[in-house]
């Protein structure tokens, strides 16, 4: 698949925190399964020197959700891959609000060149550093996704409820949707999140926005399931086999998950990074983005956007 951008979704930060957060209860109830003993759906990293939620539980913090184009079955697309799905999420634990800034993959980085290339050349620290420099924030966590487990994860949770707002037909991505509500399988959500041909003028920008919508839809779907204590324990015991952690312990995951359970999807704001034409096919960060970043970095809430 040419642009597996929906890998981002298996890195859904709020959904990922929700799933990982009940890990402790499941382990106590059912015995500790071997973490990531099956296909890895996503990895949660504590990155850089930014304070963790455990250290400052009431302070706003920032999460990068990154989907890359690597494919273990393709020698030409090795890890870590291009960062082709990029979303920076701010969470304010004190108010229960959250904001997503959707960053198109062709956005010009502060260090020059396209932002997505930094993941391929310098790995996670490089792309995190460029985004921090761009927005003036410190990113505490990154959730990264590989492609193979995406459809399996969406199918495992019973699909994701999402509303399509305009016709979407893209033979390359497989999207073929008319406006209306859908319960999308993994394959369908992949097609939805990869579609850019339905938007001739705004293809990559609109695709990035749709990925943000899918993040919120996934959280909404999981919260609506309300499986109860026993069902949650059983679900998370299964999910535990598909989650990896980097620089984090079980307590941090539990605390993040407990926080995610309090977040109302209706209070998650999804905003596209303002861009204009840069050199070549780059998308220059628009001057208006500086107001967006200032609104974002003071408390992780976009009050004015």
Residue pLDDT, tens place only, 58-107: 899 999 998 876 666 666 666 777 788 899 999 999 999 999 999 999 99
* Tens-digit pLDDT profile for residues 215-229: 899 888 877 776 555
CA dihedral for 5, 114, 299, 59, sign (positive or negative): positive
Q: pTM of the prediction?
A: 0.83
Nearest residue to 208 via CA among 120, 270, 132, 300: 270
Q: Is 253 in contact with 53 (CB distance < 8 Å)?
A: no
* Segments making up each domain of the chain, as ranges: 7-299
For residue 147, what pLDDT is reported?
59
CATH number for the segment(s) 7-299: 3.40.630.190
Q: Would you state the pLDDT for residue 100?
A: 97
Residue 85 near residue 3, CB atoms below 8 Å: no
The answer to which of 27-41, 98-112, 217-231, 239-253 has the lowest mean pLDDT is 27-41
Q: How far is Cα 223 from Cα 203, in angstroms, rounded to an integer?
A: 30
CA dist list (Å): 146 to 21, 42, 149, 208: 21, 7, 7, 18
Helix 23-30, helix 13-21: angle, nearest 10 = 30
CA distance 48 to 126: 10
- For residues 265-283, b (16+ Cβ closer than 10 Å) or e, as one string? beebbbbbbbbeeeeeebb
Which residue has better confidence, 12 or 168?
Answer: 168
In tens, the pLDDT along 118-173 reads 988 998 999 999 999 999 999 999 988 765 667 777 887 889 999 999 999 999 98
Strands 175-177 and 180-184: unpaired
pLDDT above 70 for 42: yes
């Amino acid at each position: 698949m040419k642009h597996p951008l929906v890998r981002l979704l298996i890195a859904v930060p709020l959904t990922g925190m929700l799933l990982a957060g009940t890990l402790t209860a499941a382990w106590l109830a059912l015995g500790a399964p071997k973490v990531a003993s099956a296909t890895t759906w996503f990895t949660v990293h504590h990155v850089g020197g930014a304070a963790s939620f455990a250290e400052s539980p009431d302070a706003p913090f920032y999460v990068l959700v990154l989907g890359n184009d690597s494919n273990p079955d393709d020698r030409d697309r090795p890890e870590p891959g291009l960062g082709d799905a990029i979303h920076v999420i701010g969470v304010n634990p004190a108010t229960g609000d959250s904001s997503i800034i959707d960053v198109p993959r062709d956005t010009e980085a502060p260090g020059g060149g396209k932002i997505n290339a930094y993941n391929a050349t310098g790995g996670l620290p490089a792309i995190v550093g460029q985004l921090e420099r761009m927005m003036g924030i410190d990113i505490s966590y990154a959730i990264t996704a590989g492609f193979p487990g995406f459809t399996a994860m969406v199918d495992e949770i019973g699909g994701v409820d999402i509303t399509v707002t305009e016709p979407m037909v893209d033979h390359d991505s497989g999207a073929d949707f008319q406006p209306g509500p859908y319960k999308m399988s993994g394959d369908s959500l992949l097609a939805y999140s990869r579609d850019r041909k339905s938007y001739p003028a705004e293809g990559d920008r609109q695709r990035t926005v749709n990925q943000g919508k899918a993040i919120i839809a996934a959280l909404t779907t999981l919260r609506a399931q309300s499986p109860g204590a026993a069902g949650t324990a059983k679900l998370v015991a299964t999910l535990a086999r598909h989650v990896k952690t980097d620089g984090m312990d079980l307590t941090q995951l539990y605390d993040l998950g407990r926080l995610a359970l309090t977040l109302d999807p209706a209070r998650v704001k999804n905003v596209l990074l303002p861009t204009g034409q840069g050199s070549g096919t780059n998308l220059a960060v628009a001057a208006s983005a500086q107001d967006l970043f200032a609104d974002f970095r003071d408390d992780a809430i976009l009050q004015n956007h």
